[in-house]
Amino acid sequence: MTFTDAIDLKAAHTGSGGVSSQRRDRIMTRTMYARHLETFADDALKQQMARTCGPLVQPEIEALAARLANLKTRYYSALLEVGKNRGLPQPEQFRELQALRAYCEELEAGFIALTREIEQGAIPVEGVTDPVY
């Protein structure tokens, strides 16, 4: 049911204060509409991902995970290097730390979002399916 198919509750009331039986099945509550939006968004994401990225394959997602691990390692290494020196980090060290941290945070946020969407079934991955009970 689309939002335009829903009937305002006020319009659905009959003169007796009740809802007519013909319209009762067409009334959409806020909760129903919110669920509809979630489904709509999931479907739109699947369609856009298929058009834009094609089918996702496990090696490309795992490459993203490896890239994230590499960036984190570089960040921690640079951070530990700063700890070896006395005084404040040099401006270029500070800029490098800021950039590495920003890259790590952004990549990690994206990776977490991607894995959540995969887990929820919004983004299909070739060779990955739900168990059948």
Separation between Cα atoms, residue 122 and residue 42, nearest integer Å: 5
Please state the pTM of the whole predicted model.
0.66
E strand intervals along the chain: none
Alpha-carbon span 30 to 132, nearest angstrom: 32
Whole-angstrom distance, CA of residue 103 vs CA of residue 91: 18
Read off the amino acid at residue 5: D
Contacts of 96 (CB under 8 A, 6+ apart): 78
Q: What is the pLDDT of residues 4-58, one digit of tens each?
A: 544 444 454 445 555 555 555 567 888 999 999 998 998 898 888 888 887 789 9
Domain ranges of the chain: 1-54, 55-126
Q: Which residue has the tokens 């500070």?
A: 94
What is the reported pLDDT for 13?
47
